Amino acid sequence: MRHWTDKFFVEKSELWKHFLDRGWEYSGIAVRAILRILRKHDITGGKFLELACGNGRICIPIAKKGYDVTGVDIGALYIRDAEQRAIRNNVKVRFICGDIRKLDRLVRGKFDVILSIWTSIGYYDKRTDQRLFRMVAQHLRKKGLFLIFNTMSQEYLLNHYCSSMFNETDKYLVLHKDNRFDRYHSVNTEKWVFYEKNGRDLKYIDELDLKLRIYSLAEIVEMAEAAGLELVEAYSNVRELTPARPDSVINIVLRKK
């Protein structure tokens, strides 16, 4: 049985690409936060790796600042678009189409910074994520940073849970329905139903299922520490970089010991 990520990011990749394209509108917020944190830790250059990089909304601006950037994503459509965007922006970025579960086969050498943003941790299961943390640690230089930003936390989800909601853009109306959170296994399932907008009319396009393992901040820190990383900072959000609250999403800086 195919994993839900194959259908969402590979088979039906054009649907999610619309939201990746929109992500460029506010990617500057995350980029400024990343650069601010790197300066704080005296990382003003070096090798930067982004996991599940989409179509380059973070990689390309970081490369413009002089970093040697690599981006990995499972979606071939996103990687092709990212490569074209890098050319248009006159920057060099190494984009790799591949599954981050096989990270040790996709990249070589050590990185100064590795980034995971937008809840890509939790796509699979805890055993897979534990292995991912170990691979990240293996590919970080000593004192290198692993940044996990804008990632859903169990604390935030439980305090703001909705069994149904919608998201509207200039092109789509997306219903998020049949939302169920299994508190015993900390797994959230949803169905996204896509409708294309045509004036006041809606045309059904498709529906996709998601299944996410949602971690508490403590679980993320435990996996990191087991892999040889240490928690440095935790933030409430990436706009102000204020200290994390008890129900914040996960915005943390980890360091290779």
**CATH code of the domain covering residue 63:** 3.40.50.150
Same domain, 64 and 186: no
Same domain, 126 and 227: yes
Q: Report residue 81's pLDDT band, with 50, 70 and 90 as the boundaries.
A: very high
Kindly give the pairing relationship between strand 187-198 and strand 172-182: antiparallel
Number of domains in the chain: 2
Same domain, 134 and 235: yes
Same domain, 41 and 53: yes
For residue 1, pLDDT over 90 is answered with: no
Burial of 256 (0-12, 13-18, 19+ CB in 10 A): buried
Same domain, 44 and 135: yes
* Percent of all residues in the chain with a pLDDT value above 90, rounded to a whole number: 99
Same domain, 85 and 110: yes
Same domain, 173 and 242: no
Same domain, 122 and 65: yes
Same domain, 230 and 118: yes
**Buried-state track 37-46, b at ≥16 Cβ within 10 A, e below 16:** bbeebebeee
From CA 219, how far away is CA 154, in angstroms rounded? 10
Provide the token pair at 193.
């139903």
Residue after which a domain boundary falls, among 198, 213, 228? 213
Same domain, 227 and 119: yes
Provide the token pair at 14.
């054009």
Residue 31 host element (H or E): helix 27-40
DSSP 109-141: S-EEEEEEESS-TTSS-HHHHHHHHHHHHHTEE
pLDDT in tens, 167-219: 999 999 999 999 999 999 999 999 999 999 999 999 999 999 999 999 999 99
For residue 153, pLDDT over 90 is answered with: yes
For residue 166, the enclosing domain spans 156-213
Same domain, 55 and 126: yes
Helix boundaries (H) for 47-188: 59-64, 76-88, 103-106, 126-138, 154-159
pLDDT in tens, 37-61: 999 999 999 999 999 999 999 999 9
Same domain, 131 and 161: no
User: In terms of pTM, does the model score above 0.95?
Assistant: yes
